[in-house]
A and B are shown apart, each in its own frame.
Chain A
Amino acid sequence: MLDCTPKEPVPEGSHTIGKINPVKTCQPIGAMYAALGIHRCLPHSHGSQGCCSYHRMALSRHFHDPAMASTSSFTEGASVFGGAANLKTSIKNVFQIYDPDIIAVHTTCLSETIGDDIPAIIKQSEIPEGKYVIHCNTPSYDGSHVTGFSNMCKGIVNYLAEADDAPKKEQVNIFPGYVNPGDMREIQRIVTEMGIKSIMYPDTTNVMDSPMMKKYEMYPMGGAKIEDIKDSGNSKMTIALGAWSSAEAAAILQSKCKVQGVPLKIPIGVKATDEMIMALKDGFDVEVPLSLEIERGQVIDTLLDIHFQYEGKKVAVYGDPDIVIPLTELLITMGMIPKYIITGTNGKKFEQTINSMLEEAGIEGSKIKAEGDLFDLHQWIKEESVDLLIGNSHGKYIARAEDIPLVRVGFPVYDRAVHPLMPITGYRGCLRLIEMISNTLLDRRDHDALDQDYELIL
């Protein structure tokens, strides 16, 4: 596997241009995923058919569920003369044939390079009474899929959130970040457990992990309701989970509707979950219920019971910054050594944040890179190997080439199922991560053990 790569690590400066085996994809897929988190919304891809098709395929492969979306079906003519006619026709046809309550338009590198003025085209379009068309710009040549997710969140706030003159309501907005529906459900459960009313968007629960019911609905039962999104302007506070995926939308909501935005990490691991709970406790002046204290205690109990199974093991982590940062924090909590940490997404904050975490933990000799790729990671591993890989499915080639076990976390996971329904967030999700990591290492130990070392009890 990967025999085409040189046996020895390539000299520094050999790979400086482009990406080889990337850890990011383009903006529009993130925008499509975010738009699917609005109830009765049809995401619309303003570009060539291939974009829409590729995004729908990637989402369906990860979630094992339909990802409905329409496209402006650009041809060469539209590319020369602009896509206004295609978008207007699309809006008319989509409302008449597929009858969504809202169309969420995102752009592509094609329509961005042409320079289509989406708000102007929307204004010229026929929009039935009571229906909505919103948009965001997602130039594929800037940022990553996480940027696209963030841009659609910003678009949703820009178009829909409203504030009444009345005092703020005792409710919190949850911007969950680019996570699985299983995580969104878990995060909202924790907030509800604290007795706080919440509005969450995007909310892909029961959309991208929709149950098998007796009747097919093109628009599944899940997703944030438009009236709730509007009402989010009246909330007292927003917890913006993930600096890359949620912080900017919360900042817009704060300036537009005076809703206090609290930027937080996605609650992966004990510390990040603690921080989210503390922010909610302080913001709403509520007590943390015993039930959550029990959940937390179970995690700490587990960490103390089995730390020797994973402590000191070296890990390479790769994926989206909002996932990788708290995941690295959890690994430190577990006493593991995050040796290599890579994201494909840009942003100086990434290296700074991870470096300060490692410094605080007294861990030296780790390598961190934003805008990196899996070729970079592979080179580092060739220099000095690790005990475990944690990241999306694309790391499986390195896992095989270098014979390192892989725990699948993040997006996309193409070669396993059930993960979109199960959380890695909150204390319950933390237990699940500990279980996945320790079981993977123990399976490896059992697999490698000589007969005389093969033990019943571990």
Chain B
Amino acid sequence: MTLSKVDMDELMAPFPDKVVRNRKKHIVQKDCTESCQQIEANTRTVPGIITQRGCCYAGCKGVVVGPIKDMVTITHGPIGCAYYSWGTRRNKIRADDNTPAEDLYGAMCFSTDMQESDIVFGGEKKLAKMIDEIVGIFHPRAINICATCPIGLIGDDLGAVSKAAEERHGIQVLHYDCEGYKGVSQSAGHHIANNQIMEHIIGKGTDKVDGKYLVNFLGEYNIGGDAWEIEKLLEQIGYKIVSTLTGDSAYVNIRNMHQVHLNLVQCHRSINYIADMMETKYGTPWLKVNFIGIEATIESLRDIAQCFGDKDLIKRTEFVIEKELAAVTPEIERYKKICNGKSAFAFVGGSRSHHYQYLLRDLGMDVTVAGYEFAHRDDYEGREVIPTIKSDADSRNIPELHIEADQEMYEEPHIHLKMSKEKYDELVASGKLGNYEGMYPDMVDGGIMIDDANHYETEELIEIFKPDLIFTGIKDKYISHKMGVPSKQMHSYDYSGPYTCFRGAVTFAEDVANALSTPAWKMITPPWDKADIEGGE
């Protein structure tokens, strides 16, 4: 596929000068003959621009904290924030050995429903009373309190309310200062959530978890059951997942996460903080994986096996790969006939626009334009740029935890992996451990990498590249349709899924093929117009 050079000035023609200066830095067109250009990311959206971005609260409560299934999460604020984050993200949960159905709160929405008088006189008493009532009715194992915009302004002391409630009830009550205006996107909320989970939940469990190969699966939210598909596959090989973060996760399991041998990281953006902090505190090594796409799944399975270096494990890995591959290949080939040679855009989150490129490649499709809503430079350019990222007024507002090695629980990474120091050093040298190369290396030549894409740019890029399919969210889905381009929601999978691993790839392939070929696309022009056109000719 050859893609022509995009004239950025033309693309941004109607923008005021200030907006042009800002936006130009957020768009990079890949040129294979050059190394990755710097892309600006995780900086403010220009006011008035129709952005896809959400807020800090959405990243904290909506993404990271909300899916923890056995904690009651109370949103402290006016009604809306709790309401919009109620059941809207498809992070599926189910009961298991450690968590009976009575401890699942996924279908519930808890809001202090602040009124004008609470804004004027403060909402601390109301919050404290609501905690008491919730403990009385539900007896949860632990509680989260998420702040909304007005809380920071009126100065409610959530720390004091939480501490007093912990003393009254003898359970953990965690608070998250995730007011919507903090940072520049959902990303700030991920970080705030990571900090609290790291500081107050992980490492507190004392039940010994047994297993030869213990892993955590970080940055996987079980949308449409994705995590369950991964769990099935890993268990076949012999791994045991102590906890995901946070899809279908439980407070009682998160407390024991420090006992694993290896952390696997799927969504780098939302969870790399915990991966890093666990490495510092417990010595737990982490590996970036991707279970979206058949080739990607195979590579991830092999990488994980290499981390342990056990011959039997490697053998079982190959056996499972062969078996799964044989089962899905004929079906994939069938859908590939429909999908092959088609092009797509992907505008989602902070990882999926990269991950799905693998799965689309399995189907013979190229992503010509890819962008993230809330990524940082390292998600595009790779972690090697992290030391060069300048902090600004917005990023400085998000606290960094200062983690040190735990005196009792720290073990050298090679001991976690049960290998010699030399062998571990070899593994590190291979570049796999603790590393993420970002989206850039996987972009096609001439492809566009765009940060915080806005409505006007999306419309223009569709005109220029004429994609066959757009992967995006609900806000843009129907715009895409009205422009005549099929779309799939990449946050909710249009209520399908799971899309992970081998079987998930088939489901995805079928969904994509259906989106491309549903008969109504050919019926947009009514027959009387067709007759006019033919008559005119």
Contact = CB atoms under 8 A, between A and B. Distances in A.
Chain A contact-residue range equals: 35 or more
Contacts of B84: 25, 54-55, 57-58
B398 to A, nearest CB: 10
Contacts of A218: 455, 459
- Top 7 closest pairs, chain A to chain B, by CB: A50-B55, A26-B80, A90-B48, A93-B48, A48-B180, A54-B84, A140-B78
Contacts of A61: 88, 474
Interface in A50-68: 50-51, 53-58, 60-61, 64-68
Interface of A: 1-6, 10, 14-22, 24-26, 28-29, 44, 47-51, 53-58, 60-61, 64-79, 86-87, 89-94, 96-98, 108-110, 113-114, 139-142, 144, 210, 212-214, 216-218, 344, 394, 397
Nearest to B374: A49
A25 B103 CA distance: 26
Contact of A19 (B16, B79, B85): B79
B164 interface: no
Contacts, number: 260
B310 interface: no
B114 interface: yes
B389 interface: no
Contacts of A90: 47-48
A70 B133 CA distance: 39
A14 B137 contact: yes
Contacts of B397: 76
Contacts of B148: 109
Contacts of A29: 80
A2 B107 contact: yes
A210 B48 contact: no
Contacts of A49: 45, 51, 53-55, 180, 185
Contact of A22 (B14, B109, B129): B109
A370 B360 CA distance: 51
B1 interface: no
Contact of B15 (A18, A20, A86, A96): A96
Contact of A53 (B103, B184, B475): B475
B52 interface: yes
Contacts of B112: 17-18
A18 B88 contact: no
A418 to B, nearest CB: 14
A75 B394 contact: yes
Contact of B49 (A93, A214, A394): A93
Contacts of A394: 86-87
B484 interface: yes
A212 B481 contact: yes
B51 A73 contact: yes
B342 to A, nearest CB: 20
The CB with the most chain B CB atoms within 10 A, among A47, A50, A108, is that of A50
A212 B80 contact: no
B54 A22 contact: no
Contacts of B74: 18
A22 B113 contact: yes
Contact of B45 (A3, A4, A67, A73): A73
A300 to B, nearest CB: 38
Interface of B: 14-16, 19, 44-58, 74, 77-88, 100-105, 107-116, 118-119, 126, 129-130, 133, 136-138, 148-150, 152-154, 179-185, 393-394, 397, 455-456, 459, 473-479, 481-484, 524-525, 529
B130 A17 contact: yes
Contacts of A92: 16, 48
Given A93-B16, A140-B78, 13 more contacts: A3-B101, A3-B104, A5-B137, A18-B112, A22-B79, A25-B79, A49-B54, A68-B455, A79-B153, A97-B15, A109-B149, A113-B154, A216-B479
A93 B137 contact: no
Given A141-B114, A216-B483, A57 B475 contact: yes
Contacts of A217: 482
A419 B56 CA distance: 33
A144 B113 CA distance: 10
A3 B93 CA distance: 13
A54 B473 CA distance: 12
Given A110-B150, A140-B79, A214-B525, A53 B54 contact: yes
Contacts of B149: 47-48, 74, 79, 108-110, 113
A20 B131 CA distance: 12
B194 to A, nearest CB: 19
Contacts of B126: 17-18
Contacts of B102: 3-4
A79 B181 contact: yes
The CB with the most chain B CB atoms within 10 A, among A21, A29, A141, is that of A141
A64 B456 contact: no
Contacts of A58: 84
A22 B114 CA distance: 13
B83 A60 contact: no
